[in-house]
Chain A
Amino acid sequence: MLDADEEYKQRVLEPARAAGDRPPEDLRVRYRLREPLRPAEVAASVKEVRQCWRRARGQLKYRKLIDRLEAEHRTLVPVFEAAASGDLGPLQSRLVAAQASTARRRVEVKARLLDAAGALGLLSPVDLDGLARAGGTSAAELAELAAGCGVEVREPDPLPLAPPYQAYQRVREALDVLGHRHLPDFVLAGPAIGPMRVLDGFYAPGGRLDAAAVTAVADRWARHARDSSATHADTVLVALKVALKEDRLDELVLYDITARLRERHRQRASEAAMLRHATAELGVDDGDARRLIFSIAREPAAGGGGGGPAARLRELIDAGEVHAAALLAEALLAAPPDQGGLDQDAAVLVAELRQRVTAAARLSADAAADPDPDRRWGLLAEALRLVPDLPGAEERQRRLPPRPVPAVRTTVDGPAIRISWSPTPSTAGEIDYQVVRYGPDGRGADEVAVTSEPAARDGSPPVNVPLTYAVVARRGLAAAPPATAGPVVVRPEPSDVEVFAGDGVVTGRWRCPPEAARALVSRDGVPVLSGRDNFRDDDVRNGTTYRYRVTAVYMDAAGREVTTPGVWRAATPTAPPLPISELAVGPDPAEPGMVIAAFDPPGHGTPEIVALGAPPPWPYGAVVPVAELARAGRRIAATPVPQPPPREGLRFRAPTGVLLAVTMAGDTAAIGAHHWHVNLPPPGGLLAERRGGVVIVGFDWPPGVAEIEVTCRTADAPGPDPARSATVTKAAYDAQGGVRLAVPEGADVEVAACSTGLAGGARVRGAAVTALLPGRRLVRYDLHRTGPPWRRGLVVALTPGGPHGPEATNGSVRLRRLVLVRGPGTVIPQRAADGETIAVWEDVDVAGPTELRVPVDPPGMRQRPGGTHGTYWLRCFLDGENPGTELTDPPVSRLRFP
């Protein structure tokens, strides 16, 4: 385990830490996933890696990285859960996305690299480290990338900070006055020389820079007239000779070139401008020029702004290497002043470092002296917070164990064992618990769980073996002394115990644990002969409830039998139920929607009704377990209703389907007769109205019914007549505002409405509700004048039938008293009393067209009762008793006069 941890640290954590504590984006690397991906291996690998994280987090240097890994893992939990359950799709998508992200990051890092290298194409290892941290990649990867891009990584060349010749400044002034670009130009006579190399020794294609050359130029100036130029030349020559004498001529030339480039650097010249200045104006070789400018750019600035001791110290502190920074600070303080002293920022840092290291050392010393491990752990944690790399502190802290667990309890939970314990009193640090199971005599230690909770469950402990459980509190690499509980023995009970009651017999069956020696059965304390997994008890009486205990017997280590508490079951043997031979189902007249099932009572058992969706799968008379019956159908709650003896009845609300009569006795049921029932409650509140030759039928639609059939039956057509019946849906009923059927007005009509539907492919009808509409004998009349103009008369023409033509009537219609009324004014008279009676006929028999003459002169009727002429109405009425007889008016225009 530890080797695997080290490998993971070296291969994954360290590179990630080097990359600025950035977790590797490739989940294969992060979780050590191997191709091809398999759900079980993925789950196992993730679990192992996370355990490694928890262990590595004990080391301070990994803490930030592990916290990031855990935070990102929380977002990945659904992906890994899906992978563990067999769905690798989300994980594959993540891997592909990570690859794409890595590719994008490489492109970005490459761009940064090229930007940093600039026109020189050079980078220092420090630059590379910084880029690697910023880009979340490793320095090695970045170096490889740089090589591919043509960027050279090298340390800056050490350039002389101080002039090898003390009076160099005067030499520089002299050269400037004499018009020479630099010392080689002075010695080798300028334009003739080619690109010169100044690093690693002076070399110029146009000449050598040695004593001969210096002597030659000195001779030349000796022949020169003594003037101010000669004086300046002497200044230069003296410097050259001194340098020759000290063998530092190359160094002097290097310093001269460097000084000129530094001057341009201080003037904020760009790298390209400096490169151009060095090569074109100073004549330096291109390679040396790049190296010179590269090195000058990375020299600490005079003010300490971009580098120097302060920057390095800050860098170390930021990296958590406070102790190393303190050592560096001490070294800097011990260095001679001429090698560069500490600036103000560095001095502040040094003071801070001293305080931190001193405080951490004091805390570490206090920890060493404190006997309490928790306090020691806390002191060391405080010391490491101040100085994370305090030597030895982290290791000492990781080896401080927590206090042991005070008490451990074990509980047998069926075939498993629950282990619970009180948490360790130690609260410092991250503490987890390792639960270990030991066999007899402490043999065979097996890790059961590692958890941070104070409980665990051993799901598959060895059966019939004394077990001891130890709980170890752990903190870092240190573990507290174990706390133990036990021994505890798991002895499972028989499983799937079932007891069946029959007619004078009870049987039972179960599954006996394989480790058990045998099983025992007792009935109310009396042993019952049994096999390993069943029994049969004939010594029972019907109607009595018995309680059976089924126990498992195990052999302990000493060879003694140990009996489990056992499983209890009850059974009541009964005589076999007898089936119901015949079943009649009909609607309950007392309540719509309820039905009554009538049957002859069975000889034994309780009758019940079970609703099924199809005919019963059992033959008539079969005796089946009640549980099997319950799976096939639904027992219907019913109330007994008295029926004519010897019949019995059950009243219930029946669904559409098969109603099966069963007889219950104990746990068994006898299959009786069945009846296919269609739930067709009758319509409620039937209303029927005559409107002329149409009967309008209305009713309340019963719930759950699809169609209603309405039928009108007359005496002349008592049977079903398609023309006088209609089957309507509720939608049609609502849309048409009731049901309209054409029926002769003169006929007595029985209107019947019943629910209807299809059952088993055949149309079935429920109980019908009816209403009676008595027929009306109609007599149509008309008025017309008759006779010559000088002898006008009025004729009332009577015809049997309705307004729209003759209609079959049974025999003649007798009008007891027919009255012709004249009503004055514009309003039609509504009754005989509304006008003047002109004529009365009694007992008029109308068997066919009949004419009644009025012995008055119609023109005379224009005289209103008041004596004025105007509009008047003539209308006939039936006066007195004319039951079932109605008159039908002619069109209004024939009643209005003139």
Chain B
Amino acid sequence: MSALTCPYCFATVPRDRVAFRCVGRSGRGAGCAPVLDEKLAAYTGSTAGASLPPVFAPPKPSRALRAGAAFGRAGSRAVCPECGQPTGRRVCPECHNPLPAAYCDTPGRIVALVGAKNAGKSTYIAVLLHELMNRVGTELDASLVACDDRTIDRFKRDFARPLFDERRLLPTTASAVTAPREPLVYLLTRTHVGRAGRTRHLALTLVLFDTAGEDLRSRDVADLHLRYLEAADAIIFLVDPLELPGGGSQDSDPIDVIARVTEVVQGRRGTRRDGRLDVPAAVVLTKIDALPPVVPQSALHRPRGHQGVLDLDDREAVHEQVRALLHERQAGQLDRYLAQRYVHYALFGVSALGGRPSDGRVGTGGVRPYRVEDPLLWLLYRFGMLRGR
């Protein structure tokens, strides 16, 4: 029996131990009354929204099979032992957060996103999600769905409204020490058409922690937040090119942050015999619009080629271009470190806003993202969810 990783608490849960939440009472019908879910309240840090129908352990396999035969696939539904109502609402037995059906049914991939202080993580998250919901989602024929109401609320409140509606730059993320946070969890589902014409749905779980740079230095908070790095199937590192090399403070040195994260992931996953990690790492230089002009024939000046697939030539050209940029800015150490520690890594250059902001506001023309989707396309390609050409 395979196991799942909860995208909220990152606990590894055997599939047959995934718990269920009763559907509760609807109108005058039968069903359990809401009770305070203490585990969920402990996770969110608040009792608000934690008054829900009770969680119950999954039935034994024989009963589950019977319930599955009656109500659907085995393991996807269970009958509440209190009220007898069938339910398909699966939750993590450790933190009681909801586990989407698509995530339980399809092996999801967890993509973690980290970056040093002022690397533009919040802005990148906001724009990437916006692009996946709109232009890039259309191009990839993919849907992006938030896995819980809290993610929906947070995205609207903290990201979409200020950046897109009010065109204000997002403030520097406060440390988790003073402002506890939880990840934004999205399920990116893509319909993949095989060579024989058979379609299947591939899911990628995007777990995005808007982590403050100093949180990765603080051991306590890093332990809290790096748990999700340990569970990650891929990592996106965001690097502010203006901070290269080591131009920033202790919290914002990109190489230090990447090295710290790499050590954590190595500690859990181990390495191959050559000492390298098998986890794909995408290193993204943000704010490339702020860099001086590079050679005119650079691939960074051109859009991606083929639509709906990964243009491998373009990918390689951008990688080499960014690599040359790192060496030119005396940050070749970063490239060498990545080559020594990761089997698969790729370099990217993106601009989330598409122009320089001024006075704390998005510049003229609004948000015009450029190549922000490149890292995700590469990861989809690595996971076999996107063809390359």
Contacts and interface: CB of A to CB of B under 8 A. Distances in A.
Contact of A738 (B130, B299, B354): B354
B303 interface: yes
Interface in B261-299: 294-297, 299
5 contacts: A687-B355, A735-B133, A827-B320, A827-B323, A889-B297
A738 B134 CA distance: 12
Interface residues on B, range: 35 or more
A698 B316 contact: no
B49 interface: no
A693 B366 CA distance: 22
Given A827-B327, A828-B321, A692 B316 contact: no
A710 to B, nearest CB: 12
Contacts of A735: 130, 133-135
Interface in B297-345: 297, 299, 301-303, 305, 313, 316-317, 319-321, 323-324, 327-328, 332
Interface in B338-389: 354-355, 364-370
A804 interface: yes
B140 to A, nearest CB: 15
Contacts of B370: 691, 696
A831 B321 CA distance: 12
B297 A892 contact: no
A698 B313 contact: no
Given A687-B355, A828-B321, A892-B320, A737 B295 contact: no
Closest 3 CB pairs of A and B: A698-B365, A685-B364, A692-B302
B324 A827 contact: yes
A692 to B, nearest CB: 4
B135 A892 contact: no
Task: With a 10 A CB-CB cut-off, give which of B296, B327, B367 has the most chain A CB atoms.
Answer: B296
B354 A828 contact: no
Contacts of B332: 827
Nearest to B164: A734
B313 A888 contact: no
A831 B325 CA distance: 12
Interface string A696-718: 10111100000000000000000
B156 to A, nearest CB: 14
B297 A887 contact: yes
A873 to B, nearest CB: 9
Interface string A344-379: 000000000000000000000000000000000000
Given A685-B364, A701-B366, A886-B296, A691 B316 contact: no
A487 interface: no
Task: With a 10 A CB-CB cut-off, give which of B297, B313, B316, B369 has the most chain A CB atoms.
Answer: B297
Interface of A: 684-685, 687, 691-694, 696, 698-701, 733-738, 803-804, 826-831, 877, 886-889, 891-893
B368 A698 contact: yes
B131 interface: yes
A700 B164 contact: no
Contacts of A828: 320-321, 323-324
A827 B336 CA distance: 11
A700 B365 contact: yes
Contacts of B324: 827-830
Task: With a 10 A CB-CB cut-off, give which of A694, A736, A830 has the most chain B CB atoms.
Answer: A830
A737 B138 CA distance: 13
A687 to B, nearest CB: 5
Given A827-B323, A891-B317, A892-B316, A736 B134 contact: yes
Nearest to B372: A737
Contacts of B134: 735-737
B368 A696 contact: yes
Contacts of A738: 354, 365-366, 368
A701 B294 CA distance: 31
A892 B355 contact: no
A290 to B, nearest CB: 56
A692 B365 contact: no
Contacts of B323: 826-828
B59 to A, nearest CB: 45
A684 B364 CA distance: 8
A737 B354 contact: yes
Contacts of B297: 886-889
A877 B298 CA distance: 11
Given A734-B367, A738-B368, A891-B316, 17 more contacts: A687-B365, A691-B301, A698-B355, A698-B365, A734-B366, A736-B134, A737-B127, A737-B130, A737-B135, A737-B354, A737-B367, A738-B366, A829-B324, A891-B313, A891-B317, A892-B316, A892-B320
Contacts of B369: 737
A410 to B, nearest CB: 65
Task: With a 10 A CB-CB cut-off, give which of B130, B323, B324, B367 has the most chain A CB atoms.
Answer: B324
A700 B366 contact: yes
A828 B297 CA distance: 12
A869 B370 CA distance: 39
A179 B295 CA distance: 143
Contact of B364 (A699, A804, A829, A887): A699
A877 B296 CA distance: 10
B354 A698 contact: yes
B219 to A, nearest CB: 36
A830 B295 contact: yes
Contact of B295 (A698, A804, A831): A831
A338 B370 CA distance: 121
A826 B328 CA distance: 13
Contacts of A877: 295
Nearest to B368: A738
